[in-house]
Structure 1
Amino acid sequence: MLYEGVLRKMQTENGHPIQYFMIFDNGFLNVNQALNRELQIDFIKYQCLNCGEDRPIYRQGFCKKCFYETPHAGDWIMKPELSTAHLDKEDRNLEYEKKMQLQPHIVYLANSSNVKVGVTRKSQVPTRWIDQGAHEAIEIAEVPNRYLAGITEVALKDHVSDKTSWQKMLKNDIEDLDLTEWRAKLKPYIPEEAAQYFIEDNTETNLEFPVLQYPEKVKSLNLDKTPSYKGVLKGIKGQYLIFEDSTVFNVRGNEGYYVGISIQ
């Protein structure tokens, strides 16, 4: 079967294990069903997720021009503390920014390679944790807008990491930790504006990824350097495909690349 289209991050359904789907113009692929089968990925062209043009992808699936213009790539997306919609102040498109920023957000702890603090819209739980390859996670606070989530994350970054080691995550070089204990430890550092939103009566969420074989040493597939690749799929974790020869492919990191995928 041949699938063809522009890459976007895989859609997921939480289960035992998590189910992954790649959505294309001519249908969708349940990636779990491709485990232990040979996949071939062929890079055909670029297709910017905003303008649709065949221009080199700069960041987040956008060409350089669109990255600096589209409201879908504003600085507040990567840095929630820069959100200004609650002040009725526009960055690139106030209507879009109000829609995205002025809704409940979760400040959380996740463990994928180590404990890290992060922010996501409430509607994206547990999707955000799945995308990060976290095997366990817990909510710290539920706040009414993105700005409050951002300043809480910034305050907590002085006491816990905000980064994931994707290599450790993919090699499954991890340990189980008591996230409720971590949450209690971090409570005193939550900013006064967000203190009332602290959550202290929930439990960890545990996630199970469909991986048959973890790589000992990861080799990242770069479609610009290797436009055609073939390998046996052995696992899916985070937004990565893991192959038998230890090659890994970051689907989300290649958004905007138009590809053909065939399964043997």
Structure 2
Amino acid sequence: MTYEGVLTKMQTEMGNPIQYYLVFESSFLNVNQLLGKKIDISFQGYQCLNCGKKKKIFRQGFCYDCFMSSASAGDWIMKPELSTAHLDIEDRDLDYEKSVQLQPHIVYLALSSEVKVGVTRKTQVPTRWIDQGAVQAIPVVEVPNRYLAGITEVALKDHYADKTNWQKMLKGEIPQVDLIKERASLKYLIPKEVLEYYDVEKNDLYDLQFPIAQYPKKVTSLNLDKSPNYSGKLAGIKGQYLIFEDGTVFNIRTFEGYVVKINI
């Protein structure tokens, strides 16, 4: 069976294990059903997720022009503390920025390779943690806008990582940590503007189970620009990665906007 289309990040559904779907324009694929099966992936071209033109992808599925101009690729996406919509100040498109920034956001601790701090919109719980390959996560505070979440993350980054070590995450090398205790210990780190949103008694711990038959001992990233054709047997799915038996891992998120053909 052959599937062809533009890669976008896998859609997920909470379950035991988590269910993964590759969604194309005219078809979709439940990736869990491919575990243990041989998959052929071949690179066909590019298609910008923003303008739809067949231009080389620069970052986040966008061509260079769209990445530099689109409101959905502003600096505040990666650095929430730079958000200004709450001040009525525009970065690239104030209406868009208000729609995203002025909604409830969660600052959280997640256990993926070590304890990391992060920010996500409330509507992206638990999707954000699934995409990071976190086996556990716990909200620290829920705040009404992205800016407050951003300054809280900055305050916590001195004590926690803010990026996942993707190799450790994929190998399953994760320390034993009590996230409830971690959350209880960080009240003194939270900025004054945010303290009113912190409830020491609120401990909503999430456990996440990924579909993995075997963890790789070593991992090698598949790069479609350098290796446009790859074949391998699927051994697991974690975060936004496909994990193959030979230790090759394919980060779907990195190759958003790439047109691929998948044979099963």
Q: Same fold (TM over 0.5)?
A: yes
Q: Name the residue aligned to 2:30.
A: 30
Task: Work out the CA distance in 2 between the residues paired with 1:128 and 1:182.
Answer: 20
Contact persistence 1:142–1:199 (CA under 8 A):
no
Task: Work out the CA distance in 1 between the residues paired with 2:230 and 2:199.
Answer: 46
Q: Name the residue aligned to 1:144.
A: 144
Shift of 1:73: 0.4
- Unaligned stretches of 5+ in structure 2? none
Task: Work out the CA distance in 1 between the residues paired with 2:24 and 2:162.
Answer: 32
The SS at the match of 1:154 is helix
Shift of 1:159: 1.3
Residue 48 of structure 2 is aligned to residue 41 of structure 1 = no
Runs of 4+ in 1 over 2 A off after TM superposition: none
The SS at the match of 2:254 is helix
Per-residue displacement from partner, 1:152-197 (whole Å, max 9, x unpaired)?
0001111111111000000001123101111122111100001111
The SS at the match of 2:168 is helix
Task: Work out the CA distance in 2 between the residues paired with 1:143 and 1:22.
Answer: 32
Task: Work out the CA distance in 1 between the residues paired with 2:261 and 2:197.
Answer: 46
Shift of 1:224: 0.2
Q: Name the residue aligned to 2:183.
A: 183
Q: Name the residue aligned to 1:211.
A: 212
Deviates most, 145-154 or 48-57: 48-57
The SS at the match of 2:69 is coil
Task: Work out the CA distance in 2 between the residues paired with 1:107 and 1:62.
Answer: 27
Shift of 1:96: 0.7
- State the Cα RMSD in Å: 0.7
The residue type equivalent to 1:234 in the other structure is A
Task: Work out the CA distance in 1 between the residues paired with 2:99 and 2:246.
Answer: 43
Task: Work out the CA distance in 2 between the residues paired with 1:199 and 1:93.
Answer: 34
Task: Work out the CA distance in 1 between the residues paired with 2:221 and 2:191.
Answer: 39
The residue type equivalent to 1:136 in the other structure is Q
Residue 239 of structure 2 is aligned to residue 238 of structure 1 = yes
Per-residue displacement from partner, 1:95-154 (whole Å, max 9, x unpaired)?
110000000000000000000000000010000000000000000000000000000000
Name the % identity: 67
Q: Name the residue aligned to 1:226.
A: 227
The residue type equivalent to 1:198 in the other structure is Y
Q: Name the residue aligned to 2:155.
A: 155
The SS at the match of 1:68 is helix
Shift of 1:243: 0.3
Task: Work out the CA distance in 2 between the residues paired with 1:43 and 1:15.
Answer: 31
The SS at the match of 1:4 is strand
Q: Name the residue aligned to 1:125.
A: 125
The residue type equivalent to 1:115 in the other structure is V
Deviates most, 195-204 or 240-249: 195-204
- Which runs of structure 2 are paired with 1:188-207 in the superposition (5 Å)? 188-200=188-200, 201-207=202-208
Normalising by structure 1, what TM-score? 0.98
Task: Work out the CA distance in 1 between the residues paired with 2:207 and 2:90.
Answer: 38
Q: Name the residue aligned to 1:61.
A: 61
Q: Name the residue aligned to 1:247.
A: 248
Shift of 1:62: 0.6
Per-residue displacement from partner, 1:56-81 (whole Å, max 9, x unpaired)?
11110111111000011010000000
- Unaligned stretches of 5+ in structure 1? none
Shift of 1:204: 1.4
Task: Work out the CA distance in 2 between the residues paired with 1:62 and 1:203.
Answer: 35
Shift of 1:89: 0.8
Contact persistence 1:156–1:189 (CA under 8 A):
yes
- Which runs of structure 2 are paired with 1:78-117 in the superposition (5 Å)? 78-117=78-117
Contact persistence 1:3–1:26 (CA under 8 A):
no
Contact persistence 1:106–1:122 (CA under 8 A):
yes
Shift of 1:203: 3.2
Task: Work out the CA distance in 2 between the residues paired with 1:158 and 1:27.
Answer: 44
Q: Name the residue aligned to 2:4.
A: 4
The SS at the match of 1:99 is helix
How many residues align? The count is 263
Task: Work out the CA distance in 2 between the residues paired with 1:18 and 1:213.
Answer: 16
